[in-house]
Structure 1
Amino acid sequence: MTHLKNLVLVFLLGIGCWASAQDTGNVQTYKKRVLETTEVDFLSSYYAQTGDNAAVSGGIGTEELTDATGTFVVSIPLNDDDVLTIDAGVSAYTSASSSNIDPFDGVRRADPFVASSGASSGDVWVNLTGSYSHSSDDRNNIVSGKLSVSSEYDYFSIGFGGSYSRLFNEKNTELSLNATVYLDSWNTIYPFELRPFGNNGIGFFRPTEITGNVNYSPNFTEFEKTNRNSYTFGLGFSQILHKNLQGSLALDLVQQQGLLSTPFQRVYFSDVADSFIEGFQLADDVERLPDSRFKIAMGGRLNWFLNQSITVRTFYRYYLDDWGINSHTASVEVPVKISDTFTLYPSYRYYQQTAADYFGGYETHLSTQEFYTSDFDLSQYVANQFGFGVSYTDIFTQLHIWEFGFKGFDLKFYKYDRDTTFGSYIVTGGFTFVMD
């Protein structure tokens, strides 16, 4: 039966070609499909970090965290010009830092450098994103749109946006525009000891166990806003400068409004006497940050193809915002093709930033200030990241699993260190399959 179908297909193609040859007034050029067949990518990663400046415990305490992520990305060609992509991911983490939102719910003695075993020690984040793209017949215009939903125990987000790309100069020049809106909402969770002093007066407190300043009475109020909206706009320009040289420039603008503080991150004031239960210092307040933030990032890439085996990819970005942070990022990656199927990816990334106007470490803020945070992500620091990866590509997809041909994999390892006590590493893997 299959043989018969092939004969019929060849016959019909022959008739079609003969008819086209006779109709010289209606000649159609061949149009390559944007995506030939359905592709499935499975992406996974394992991340681990350490440090001694946890924001949950006011700039001191353990920052230990592990996270495992799995994501499926399915790209489906709807026709010659349109592609639908579905991206579904799940991330599960355990955090010694966030476990100390309530440091008194475990069997261990409460201490900022020891993880609590309570419910706040882990969570699951889920995300689903759908995107649709359309390419013009000449492939010089590409329009796309996307919709995303993500959720975890204290956070829910909806995002939507679109982009437009235009190719000029025989596809040697490309101009792109993109815009995205994220509408987020918090389920505000506060440090355990502050809850009885909030608007609702909920929670359980143990005043007879307080040491140090036994008259613990923080001036704490809950946040009125529990939503955050983010609006992003991007402009990109890329140009083939030479057969071996390609460059690109990018500008990104972000406006955020709403609750930009993290409700469970503590702050300790230098002008307030310290109160303790067991080995854990009770919060004077949570971080308070402005309800708006404007960010600007601009940068460029330059890729130099030295020969058939070696490419040098460089990147630089300058960032600033109205919270006082300025940063520089520079990176280089040197893919080395060691065979027709294997490529190695050594890389290095340098980063430095100034501190936000509202940052201060443990017990450096005053209770009279309007805004304050002890989150070291907003501090001044320098970071270095070293990476190495390997990829395998089989354009003939000789290996098959069920109805899918194995196209290749990509494995990478990155080690990241700041000049504070913070360090981390991440292992990522990606596997690509195509439907026969």
Structure 2
Amino acid sequence: MKKIILIFCVFAFAKSYSQTKQDSIKVYKKRVLEAVEVDFLTSYYSQNGDNAAVSGGIGTEKLTDVTGTFVVSIPLNDDDVLTIDAGISAYTSASSSNIDPFDGSQPADPFVASSGASKGDGWVNLSGNYSHSSDDRNNIWSAKISISSEFDYFSAGVGGSYTKLFNEKNTELSVNANVYIDTWKAIYPIELRPFGENGIGLNNPLFTQNIITGNTSYNPRFSEFKDEGRNSYALGLGFSQILHKNLQGSLALDFVQQEGLLSTPFQRVYFSDVTDSFIDNFQLADAVERLPDSRFKVAVGGRLNWYLNETIAVRTFYRYYFDDWGINSHTASIELPIKITDKFTLYPSYRFYNQTAADYFKPYESALSTDEFYTSDYDLSEYSANQIGFGVSYTDIFAKAHIWKLGLKSIDLKFYQYDRDTSFSSSIITAGFKFVMD
């Protein structure tokens, strides 16, 4: 009996010691995220140009957009982090206002924004990401779900990723996959709607109350899209390697398969073999953009970051892209972070991009009515672009400045100017504020 009691006490002591040791390991294990972090991101974007897809490759592309996003990262325990991302965007667009160019008080004109209801709208997004790290921090799993909506589009997405670190965390391999199930609420150019199903054609008040000039027997090639769904499937592979204490490189390979309604229903096309019809100064659409119902995209790229010294680093990036619509593109960029004090860093940057045209791209009045597919969206045209950027960041790892219970950890301000060799140009100002909860 004494032997049994002794064995039991030894076992209990061993178990208690083992448990105490495990608890000790847990207590001193570094947390993935020490405290709740809150990011507020905002931007102001503006663009202009003379090749609006809404009006068939001509007309104003003027647009302004203001966004605001909150990102909250919450440590659930030592290993798990939940991230909630909520954003909203409000824009005014001269080109989209010309979906209905006849609802304003002035004569319709592709180079003038309509004052009607379609000139502005909003976009909202909500996503959640859950990540789990193994005890040795060499394995990271994550899962994501998201929804977004705007006036004519709704998207729901799910995804996940896995990251493996080894070689004393000098090497990293990752794989990620995402699926997006989207639905259009198709909105067509105003003059085409009377020629859709159950429409009354030229008997519509738009035509009876306005004078058609040019071809007065206006008869567009139009039928409504039967399927308003769009599905996207994305797979990404990544490899990162620390090559030297001052040099890090990475490679990425991405595949995207899209299926469904890939045309934008309100983008007009004008045929070269059809006589033009006008109301005021606005040319009536011959058709809407028609594109294949599938698209396969591939992108391969790499980064090389070289830390020259404590003051200057060099970050370079290159990517080659191609798809089965005939587009091939090259992107190259360089950024030179310059640390001017312990808290302030400057970020000058330059980016170059060029692409070939999609097989289906046709400039204004270049498509034929006998073509199967056609678009006058200059995003699918051949062009080159340059972007110059400058940014400044403030970082205080001790977060001494406070707003309520939130310590200000960093501020990032950036400006980018983008110019194509077409008429298109844009600029964006972004600001980011990172807070950590006490």
TM-score (norm. length: structure 2): 0.93
Q: Is the counterpart of residue 404 in structure 1 residue 406 in structure 2? A: yes
Deviation at 1:218, TM superposition (A): 1.1
Q: For residues 37-436 of structure 1, what are the structure 2 equivalents within 5 Å?
A: 37-201=35-199, 204-207=205-208, 209-436=211-438
Question: Size of the alignment, in residue pairs?
Answer: 418
- CA offset digits 1:319-360 (Å, max 9, x no partner): 000000000000000000000000000000000000000001
| Residue number in structure 1 paired with 2:12 | none
Alpha-carbon separation, structure 2, partners of 1:21 and 1:243: 38
| Residue number in structure 1 paired with 2:7 | none
Q: Could you tell me whether the CA contact under 8 Å between 1:20 and 1:26 is conserved in 2?
A: no
Q: Could you tell me whether the CA contact under 8 Å between 1:196 and 1:204 is conserved in 2?
A: no
After TM superposition, where is structure 1 displaced by more than 2 Å over at least 4 residues in a row?
A: 19-30, 202-205
Deviation at 1:21, TM superposition (A): 12
Deviation at 1:200, TM superposition (A): 3.4
- CA offset digits 1:378-424 (Å, max 9, x no partner): 00000000000000001111111111111110000000000000000
- The two structures, once aligned, show a CA RMSD in angstroms of 1.6
Aligned pair in 2 of structure 1 residues 23, 132: CA closer, same or farther (>3 Å)?
closer
SS at match of 2:25: coil
Alpha-carbon separation, structure 1, partners of 2:404 and 2:375: 53
Q: Could you tell me whether the CA contact under 8 Å between 1:387 and 1:414 is conserved in 2?
A: yes
Deviation at 1:22, TM superposition (A): 12
Alpha-carbon separation, structure 1, partners of 2:157 and 2:185: 18
Alpha-carbon separation, structure 2, partners of 1:298 and 1:26: 45
Q: Could you tell me whether the CA contact under 8 Å between 1:20 and 1:27 is conserved in 2?
A: no
Return the letter of the residue paired with 1:198: G
- Using the TM superposition, name which of 293-302 and 196-205 deviates more: 196-205
Deviation at 1:204, TM superposition (A): 4.3
Aligned pair in 2 of structure 1 residues 25, 369: CA closer, same or farther (>3 Å)?
closer
Q: Is the counterpart of residue 28 in structure 1 residue 25 in structure 2? A: yes
Aligned pair in 2 of structure 1 residues 379, 414: CA closer, same or farther (>3 Å)?
same
SS at match of 1:345: strand
SS at match of 2:206: coil
Deviation at 1:298, TM superposition (A): 0.3
Deviation at 1:26, TM superposition (A): 8.9
TM-score (norm. length: structure 1): 0.94
Deviation at 1:149, TM superposition (A): 0.5
Aligned-pair identity (%): 75
Return the letter of the residue paired with 1:33: R
Alpha-carbon separation, structure 2, partners of 1:435 and 1:204: 60
Return the letter of the residue paired with 2:364: Y
SS at match of 2:89: strand
- CA offset digits 1:58-117 (Å, max 9, x no partner): 000000000000000000000000000000000000000000000000011100000001
Q: Could you tell me whether the CA contact under 8 Å between 1:47 and 1:67 is conserved in 2?
A: yes
The gaps in structure 2 that reach 5 residues or longer are 1-15
- CA offset digits 1:14-54 (Å, max 9, x no partner): xxxxx989978997373100000000000000000000000
- CA offset digits 1:144-174 (Å, max 9, x no partner): 0000000000000000100000001000000
Aligned pair in 2 of structure 1 residues 283, 24: CA closer, same or farther (>3 Å)?
closer
Return the letter of the residue paired with 2:286: D
Return the letter of the residue paired with 1:28: I
Return the letter of the residue paired with 2:207: R
- CA offset digits 1:215-252 (Å, max 9, x no partner): 00112111111000000000000000000000000000
Alpha-carbon separation, structure 1, partners of 2:64 and 2:22: 65
Alpha-carbon separation, structure 1, partners of 2:92 and 2:320: 33
Aligned pair in 2 of structure 1 residues 197, 311: CA closer, same or farther (>3 Å)?
same
SS at match of 2:168: coil
Alpha-carbon separation, structure 2, partners of 1:56 and 1:127: 25
SS at match of 1:98: helix
Alpha-carbon separation, structure 2, partners of 1:25 and 1:362: 71
Return the letter of the residue paired with 1:243: K
- Using the TM superposition, name which of 204-213 and 38-47 deviates more: 204-213
Return the letter of the residue paired with 1:59: G
SS at match of 1:377: helix
Alpha-carbon separation, structure 2, partners of 1:262 and 1:212: 27
Aligned pair in 2 of structure 1 residues 221, 238: CA closer, same or farther (>3 Å)?
same
Return the letter of the residue paired with 1:394: D
SS at match of 1:28: helix
Alpha-carbon separation, structure 1, partners of 2:38 and 2:280: 52
Deviation at 1:138, TM superposition (A): 0.2
Alpha-carbon separation, structure 2, partners of 1:212 and 1:372: 23
SS at match of 1:348: strand
